[in-house]
């Protein structure tokens, strides 16, 4: 079974500059929690308890967020702020096994995943990208683990995207096996809409067998001058390994750009009773519209 999840969080977050000059994009908050916590929650809810963060210099606060802060705890205890203490402890106790690997110079997702090779060893593992949140009844990764049990190949979460967004993603070509399962014949990183074989985009959830590392060592820099994970997956397919696309159930939220980030905040705000009221007042005041009625 899958016991380890790799979270590549070394990227520079240029799409969210200037704030990412000083705040790692994974720590930008959706309401009162950093985006990375939503991803960590998905991993834990899928039954995986070992998290491998691939980080780069300046992004250590991502690890600190999950670490014990004795000073803060003493401060809150002395002031009898029990509710706040509970919130802090909940986060600190969340992840039992954190491993961090430093990617000295971030040169792409392909290189980041390769950094996990020694820690993973010879077992299947998951990769989750911090930009992509999936709000689902059953965690997206857990759904994928069930697909893995049946198909045993590499499993990639995919979803349909509008034509104008195709060039932002890895795109797949394949043949439908079941309502939600596609046998992938080709993957291509960030194609133009003209060269794209479909509108099915890879989102940031993967299950790999350790053989992927062999192919990650063979790829060259490509799109954006970076080592692309998608290129290694393409080599895997070419060598006859089975790769499946999985149309997951749930709502994917892309926090990696300004528009998507804002939409994510609205998505979670409307699920929160208190904030839902704020949204209601906002629409009433500015647009004279009565929402959620």
- Residues within the interface to ligand G1P (CB under 6 A): 109, 129, 131-132, 169-170, 189, 201-204, 228-230, 256
Shortest separation between residue 138's beta carbon and ligand G1P, angstroms: 21
Shortest separation between residue 38's beta carbon and ligand G1P, angstroms: 14
Shortest separation between residue 35's beta carbon and ligand G1P, angstroms: 13
* Nearest residue (CB) to ligand G1P, 204 versus 245: 204
**Which conformational region is residue 190 in: left (phi greater than 0), alpha (psi within -120 to 50 degrees), or beta?**
left
Shortest separation between residue 27's beta carbon and ligand G1P, angstroms: 17
Shortest separation between residue 265's beta carbon and ligand G1P, angstroms: 18
* Nearest residue (CB) to ligand G1P, 50 versus 228: 228
* Nearest residue (CB) to ligand G1P, 52 versus 129: 129
Distance CA 189, CA 183 (A): 18
* Nearest residue (CB) to ligand G1P, 4 versus 252: 252
* Nearest residue (CB) to ligand G1P, 76 versus 248: 248
Distance CA 32, CA 90 (A): 14
Shortest separation between residue 275's beta carbon and ligand G1P, angstroms: 26
Taking alpha carbons only, the member of 273, 264, 267 closest to residue 28 is 264
Closest residue to ligand G1P: CB criterion: 170
**Other CB atoms closer than 10 Å to residue 288's CB: what's the count?**
7
Shortest separation between residue 269's beta carbon and ligand G1P, angstroms: 23
* Nearest residue (CB) to ligand G1P, 9 versus 201: 201
* Nearest residue (CB) to ligand G1P, 108 versus 139: 108
């Amino acid at each position: 079974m899958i016991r380890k999840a790799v979270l590549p969080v070394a990227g520079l977050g240029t799409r969210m500059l200037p704030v990412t000059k000083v705040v790692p994009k994974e720590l930008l908050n959706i309401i009162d929690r950093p985006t990375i916590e939503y991803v960590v929650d998905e991993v834990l809810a899928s039954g995986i308890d070992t998290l491998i963060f691939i980080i780069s210099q300046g992004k250590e606060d991502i690890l600190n967020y999950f670490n014990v802060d004795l000073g803060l705890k003493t401060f809150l205890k002395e002031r009898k702020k029990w509710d706040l203490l509970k919130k802090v402890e909940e986060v600190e106790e969340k992840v039992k096994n954190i491993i961090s690997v430093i990617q000295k110079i971030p040169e792409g997702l392909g290189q980041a995943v390769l950094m996990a090779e020694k820690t993973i060893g010879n077992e299947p593992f998951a990769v989750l990208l911090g930009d992509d949140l999936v709000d689902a009844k059953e965690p997206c990764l857990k759904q994928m683990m069930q697909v893995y049990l049946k198909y045993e190949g590499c499993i990639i979460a995919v979803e349909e995207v509008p034509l104008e967004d195709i060039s932002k993603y890895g795109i797949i070509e394949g043949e439908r096996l079941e309502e939600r399962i596609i046998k992938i014949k080709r993957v291509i990183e960030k194609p133009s809409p003209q060269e794209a074989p479909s509108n099915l985009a890879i989102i940031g959830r993967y299950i790999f067998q350790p053989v992927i590392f062999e192919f990650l060592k063979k790829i060259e820099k490509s799109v954006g001058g970076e080592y692309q994970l998608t290129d290694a997956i393409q080599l895997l397919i070419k060598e006859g390994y089975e790769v499946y696309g999985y149309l997951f159930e749930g709502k994917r939220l892309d926090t990696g750009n300004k528009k998507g980030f804002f939409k994510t905040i609205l998505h979670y705000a409307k699920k929160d009773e208190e904030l839902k009221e704020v949204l209601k007042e906002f629409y009433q005041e500015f647009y004279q519209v009565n929402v959620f009625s």
